[in-house]
Amino acid sequence: MEASPQNGPLVLARAALGGVLMGLANLVPGISGGTMLLAAGIYPRFVNAVAEVSTMKLRPASLTLLATVALAAGAGIVLLAGPIKDLVVEQRWIMYSLFIGLTLGGLPVVWRMAKPVDAKVHGGAVAGFVVMAALGLAQASGATAGDGGSNFVLLLLAGLAGASAMILPGVSGGYLLLVLGQYVPILAGIEAFKDALSAGDMGATVQPALSVMLPVGIGVLVGIVAVSNLLKWLLARFEKQTLGVLIGLLLGAVVGLWPFQAPVQPEVGSLVKGVEVTAASLATIDVEDWPTAVFAPTALQLAGALGLILLGAAVTTAIARLGRE
């Protein structure tokens, strides 16, 4: 994918739009940051710029493009982290239904890249599906890292996982954060940082900046370089298998997004973030930290979920078509 080395005003405007869309993608499980860059028509330039910078070819055009995308993505994340987190916590079945559609809508992006489909693609798809489905089931059963809260290493890994969605069209970084149990903690940390800035309390920005944003940021930077170069190597040597794995990851992601689940108040004696719940601490536990339980949907909820799935698939498919070059 060769692109002109010059960045005119139109290119930078598209880079800014693509950055905002990428920021939204990393907040919403099911949407791929790579697909959003496709929508803005900036994906080939972005990939070329990442490849150049990762090999220490520091051309001004590449640095300007990446800085524009990064700053726009950061602005989108900081401004919208709070509302998105609240919707996921309070309207889980609605948001998860939408996430399923957004996830499935990314499938045609990778499918087109894999054509003509052969046995290697099928084998990779099976492997990818098994891995992602297992992660989804582990999350649903409470076996993911989220039960023990967050720490520097987990947030670093979350940043690495989220970075993959900046490179791979169709792969959702937000979903990977969900299965790692770090989605809500990261959004909560970003919201706390934003609130402290708004209040002019610079001292209060230190804790979320160092405990959440620093490890995630390091993970994202390392992940972008590592994933871009690893993907380049894999596609050069095992193209069909690699694209098959990406297809399987997309399909397996749906397993962990069963929409009909809701937060339930923890019982005294149970563990939340590794700490035993007492009668005194029960009222202080935020809803976002409550465990979830599956419930039987009504006919209206079933119909609504189906409609939201179709809507999400249509949105992602339309955006991918818009950005096709």
For residue 272, give Cα distances in angstroms to 72, 208, 226, 256, 266: 35, 20, 34, 21, 8
CB 308 within 8 A of CB 316: no
**pTM given for the model:** 0.65
pLDDT in 10s for each residue of the chain, 325 residues? 444 456 677 778 888 888 887 887 777 665 667 767 766 767 778 877 887 887 788 888 888 988 999 899 888 888 877 787 778 778 888 988 988 887 787 788 778 878 899 999 999 999 989 987 876 676 556 544 444 456 788 888 888 877 776 677 666 677 677 767 777 788 788 888 888 888 888 888 888 888 888 898 898 888 888 877 787 788 788 989 988 988 887 788 777 778 888 888 888 888 776 678 888 888 888 777 787 788 899 999 999 999 999 998 888 777 666 555 4
pLDDT reported for residue 146? 43
Distance between CA atoms of 231 and 225, rounded to whole angstroms?
Answer: 10
Helix, strand, coil proportions of the chain in percent (round to 5)?
75, 5, 25
Amino acid, single-letter form, for residue 173: G
